[in-house]
Amino acid sequence: MTAVAALTERMVLGALRDDLPFAILAPAGNFVVFNFGLRNVIDTGHMSYPQYLLPVIIVQVMLLGALTTVDRAARDQGSDFGIRLRTLPIPTVAPLTARMLYCLFRGALALLAAIAVGYVFGFRMLGGVAYGSAFAILVLTLTLAVSLGADATGTRIAASGIAGAQMGNSGGASQLLLVPQLLLVMLSTGMAPADAFPDWLSPFVRYQPVSQVTETLRGLAAGHVDVSNLAASVAWCLGLLAVFGALAVRMQKRTQ
Amino acid sequence: MIELNGVAKTFDGTIHALQDVTFSVPSGSVCAVLGHNGAGKTTTIKILSTLLRPTSGQAIVAGYDVVRQPAQVRANIGTTGQLAALDWQLTGRENLVLFGRLRGMRRKHAQLRADTLIDQFDMAHAADRRVGTYSVGMQRRIDIAAALVVPPKVLFLDEPTTGLDPRSRRDVWDLVSSLSAQGVTVLLTTQYLEEADVLSDSIVVINEGRVIASGTAEELKSRVRFSYCTVSPANPSDLCRIFDVVADLEGAQADREANTVSVLAPDGVATLGEVFRRVDQLGVELLDISLRKPSLDEAFLHLTGSVSA
């Protein structure tokens, strides 16, 4: 436990001097840009655009935040510091656990920042404490699942030594993962309702995880959720958690 | 304290990084593993510090088998690599506290230990700056300090002085000597013969993944049976003229810094006589002419050369 606590603290300290301030500012920037860019373009019916938009901004920020895990995992795997960690008397999964705790910490901060900004522009949590907590838990579960996937990717890259990753330079991979991340967000019902997309695309748009999760988050914020949609979101999150979790743990081999 | 028995490591089934490596290091002594780049020095250290699994053979560190009891091995070793293995975002002090806590110390205890090490390593002026801003010598010092937060039974130093200026190198040497005086078993790798000579109680010479010689520095020198004849002129400007008259003899070389010309002396005193006659004819005033044992440098070249030949 001491090892996990010490490693998590190390990451928070390092991030404070690096990109943690950005993690907190990102939701505000994203929200303001999309809100003013799209609020008069997209028809979201009776729901105000800030109320409609904030969930996908949160999901987008969580996905972007998770991508930074690729670099952290690659660094921990490939750097001399990471190699030394593997010669210390600590559990093999301690560094992974610490990275994930840091991701949750960073996610929680970004979530708070997003909701604060949302409130300024008219977003409201109408469902009370229970719905509010469910909202936070769903967001953090998604963050954890995607972070585990990013972690497995980063560790794999560093271990195989592709593209200069031995120096902890996995910038290429996290840039590459931006593409599916952006596509998932853009081709979702997060920014515009499904009927705004062409017919051939709408089945994908409707059922992909970002759409399902943002729909559920919107419901939780409003205080009423569609049960089948909630089930789909929970299934997506737990499924991703299980698959990426298993992959990430399998990557943590200390002896070659 | 460290024992290797027939250790081999093969990568991808074809690259034989180590073959049948056998040697042991007694408790509290310093062993230098000497070899060129790629000889297998780092692979040896990686196996001993549980980072690599040997393909065959057995390795025991601090009484524990590196394959079957890696956790116990890790609890008893300290390691430093060729580059400083530190978190660059953290200060020197924060790094030391971190490594203390990773070895199971409570925060307060780790902080006290960090204070002690900072004093001991004379780092007070830099302890609260980020490690990324340190000079190479300072990084190395804090890196070694980080390996000593909990004094290990066995310390592995992989090329501890590579890239250091002479003063920092001297500091590392002093440190290694004092650690061994405290009973820590040290295994270090080096490409510098001088370092192996000064620091270690025993030397293992590795070439192309095999141990080609081991023993004390004196023993290695004596394995090269012939002697050298060395001449020093009273006036260093005569060095070239002396070299010219003995250049046809085997192994002739001039060392400007040491102000000597050396030739191999397979016939001992007879060679010395021949060299003296030739130099005498020049009419050069001599400071010294003598037969001497080969340096460790010459022994090393001879040992590694005889293998590849």
CB contact under 8 A, A13 and B106: no
- The arrangement of strands across the sheet holding B210-215 comes to B77-80, B154-158, B185-190, B30-34, B202-207, B210-215
- CB-CB neighbors (< 8 A) of A256 in chain B: 51-53
How many domains does chain B contain in total?
Answer: 2
- Find chain B residues with C-beta within 8 A of A255's C-beta: 50-53, 70
At B220, list the tokens: 């290695």
Tally of CB atoms within 10 A around B240 = 12
Distance from CA of A161 to the nearest CA of B (A): 15
Predicted local confidence at residue B272, as pLDDT: 84
State which residue of chain A sits closest to B47, comparing Cα positions.
A255
Task: Tell me how close the Cα of A163 comes to any Cα of chain B, in angstroms.
Answer: 20
pLDDT in tens, A152-184: 998 888 877 654 444 445 566 677 778 888 888
Pairwise CB contact (< 8 Å): B87 & A14: yes
Task: Give one DSSP letter per residue of B100-158, joined into a string.
Answer: HHHTT--HHHHHHHHHHHHHHTT-TTTTTSBGGGS-HHHHHHHHHHHHTSS--SEEEEE
Domain harbouring B27, CATH code: 3.40.50.300
B139 and B9 both lie in a single domain: yes
B166 and B231 fall within a common domain:
no
Q: Please report where in the chains the tokens 């960090």 appear, as a residue.
A: B114
B61 found inside a domain: yes
The residue written with tokens 């001991």 in the block is B120
In a domain, B157, yes or no: yes
In a domain, B284, yes or no: yes
> Could you give the count of Cα atoms lying within 13 Å of A229 in the half-sphere of its Cβ?
16
Strand partners, B231: B261, B289
How large is the angle between the packed helices B92-102 and B136-147, nearest 10 degrees?
A: 20
- Same domain as B53, residue B98: yes
Q: Do A17 and B130 touch (CB under 8 A)?
A: yes
Q: Is residue B302 one of the residues assigned to a domain? A: no
Cβ of A89 within 8 Å of Cβ of B81? The answer is no
Comparing CB atoms, the residue among B51, B86, B98 nearest residue A87 is B51
User: Would you state the structure tokens that stand for residue A59, as one six-digit string?
Assistant: 């999901």
> Do A10 and B75 lie within an 8 Å CB cutoff?
no
Q: Are residues B43 and B108 in the same domain?
A: yes
Question: Which two tokens mark A112?
Answer: 């708070």
Q: Do B51 and A86 touch (CB under 8 A)?
A: yes
Lowest-confidence segment of A172-176, A244-248, B257-261, B304-308 by average pLDDT:
B304-308
Q: Band of the pLDDT at A146, cuts 50, 70, 90?
A: very high
Residues B150, B254 share a domain? no
Q: Examine the domain organization and report whether B18 and B141 are in the same domain.
A: yes
Cβ contacts from A onto B, under 8 A: 77
Residues in chain A: 256
Whether residue B178 is found in the same domain as residue B245: no
Question: Are B250 and B184 part of one and the same domain?
Answer: no
ipTM of the complex: 0.84
Most confident of A144-153, A199-208, B208-217: A144-153
d(CA B31, CA B131): 30
Instruction: Say which CATH number the domain at B248 has.
Output: 3.30.70.920
Question: Do residue B35 and residue B97 come from a single domain?
Answer: yes
> How far apart are the C-alpha atoms of B149 and B86, rounded to whole Å?
13
Range of the domain at B249: 225-293
B47 and B132 together in one domain: yes
Q: Which helix (H) or strand (E) holds B23?
A: strand B15-25
- Predicted confidence (pLDDT) at residue B38 exceeds the cutoff of 80: yes
- Last residue of one domain, picked from the residues B205, B221, B237: B221
Least confident of B91-105, B114-128, B219-233: B219-233
User: Final residue of a domain: which of B221, B236, B261?
Assistant: B221
Note whether residue B129 is domain-resident. yes
Q: How far apart are CA B18 and CA B204, in angstroms?
A: 14
Name residue B34's beta-bridge partners.
Answer: B190, B205
Q: How far is A76 from chain B (nearest CA, A)?
A: 10
Give the per-residue pLDDT at A165.
41
Is the pLDDT score of A231 beyond 90? yes
Amino acid letter, residue A150: A
B87:A84 CB<8 A: no
Domain match, B31 and B82 both: yes
**Range ranked top by mean pLDDT from A212-216, B257-261, B283-287:** A212-216
Output the pTM of the full model.
0.82
Q: Are residues B231 and B212 in the same domain?
A: no
CA A210 → CA A50, A53, A58, A127, A245, distances in Å? 17, 13, 11, 21, 19
* Rounded Cα–Cα distance for residues A250 and A237 (Å): 20
Q: Is residue B82 part of a domain?
A: yes
Look at residue A185 in the predicted model and tell me its pLDDT: 86
3-state SS of chain A is CHHHHHHHHHHHHHHHCCCHHHHHHHHHHHHHHHHHHHCCCCCCCCCCHHHHHHHHHHHHHHHHHHHHHHHHHHHHHHCHHHHHHCCCCCCCCHHHHHHHHHHHHHHHHHHHHHHHHHHHCCCCCCCHHHHHHHHHHHHHHHHHHHHHHHHHHHHHHHHHCHHHHHHCCCHHHHHHHHHHHHHHHHCCCCCCCHHHCCHHHHHHHHHCHHHHHHHHHHHHHHCCCCHHHHHHHHHHHHHHHHHHHHHHHHHCCCCC
Task: Tell me, yes or no, whether B299 lies in a domain.
Answer: no
Q: How far apart are CA A241 and CA A230, in angstroms?
A: 16
**Within a domain: residue B309?**
no
Average pLDDT (A105-115) is: 94
